[in-house]
Amino acid sequence: MITRRALIVSGATGLLASALSPSAFAAPPSPADPAGIVTAIYARAAKGKGDGGGAFIIENKAAKAKYLSKSLVALWGKADAHTPKGDVGPIDFDPVTNSQEPDVKSFKVATEKQEADKATLAVTIEGRNAPARKPADRTIRYEFVRDGAAWKIDDIRGASDGEPWSIRAMLAASLKN
């Protein structure tokens, strides 16, 4: 005959075992993987009134080194060096929010493709103010590469009034002028 004590102990043991199983916990995205990196960028951009933007990822050499691939940082450096003194560089907007005046109320991150050494993520943003003129203007794509052991942004792509743009292409084009 089973006693109450034995029943309680076996039930508690079963609950404890199921609670500690790896499948019982859903792991959040790692802050070091592409989705975690992009989510952290947009969470910061959406704070407060969502008007802070994401220019913090490109504001100085240290920020660029933290977020961007070595090859993109090098290209950006060449483009900046090629820009006449006193002129605005080739990137004169906030690519994270695809705007001159950041406005981020909410965002959705979707991994479109991920391999061992590269990934493409799409971020769709919604603003507090007027919606983007063209639906394509609300989506920004990030190309990530493995740069050493870390994931880094190798290009940012979007559209302005439905016309596609790419940070890498804009920087390269500025060197031809």
Residue 76 has φ and ψ, to the nearest 5°, of -65, -40
CATH assignment of 30-174, among 3.40.50, 3.30.70, 3.10.450, 3.90.1520 = 3.10.450
Res 31: pLDDT: 61
* 35 and 29 Cβ atoms separated by less than 8 Å: yes
Short-list 49, 88, 79, CA closest to 71: 79
Tokens 């790896």 -> residue: 22
Per-residue pLDDT of the chain (177 residues; tens, 9 = 90+): 455 454 444 444 444 444 443 433 444 556 689 999 999 999 999 998 888 889 999 999 999 999 999 999 999 999 999 988 888 888 999 999 999 889 999 999 999 999 999 999 999 999 888 776 788 899 999 999 999 899 999 999 999 998 999 999 999 999 987
pLDDT at 22: 40
Report d(CA 115, CA 56) in Å as an integer. 27
Alpha-carbon gap, residue 123 to 84, rounded angstroms: 33
Indicate the average pLDDT of the chain: 84
User: Is 158 in contact with 139 (CB distance < 8 Å)?
Assistant: yes
pLDDT in tens, 83-131: 888 888 889 999 999 998 899 999 999 999 999 999 999 999 998 887 7
Q: Distance (Å, rounded) from C-alpha 100 to C-alpha 102?
A: 6
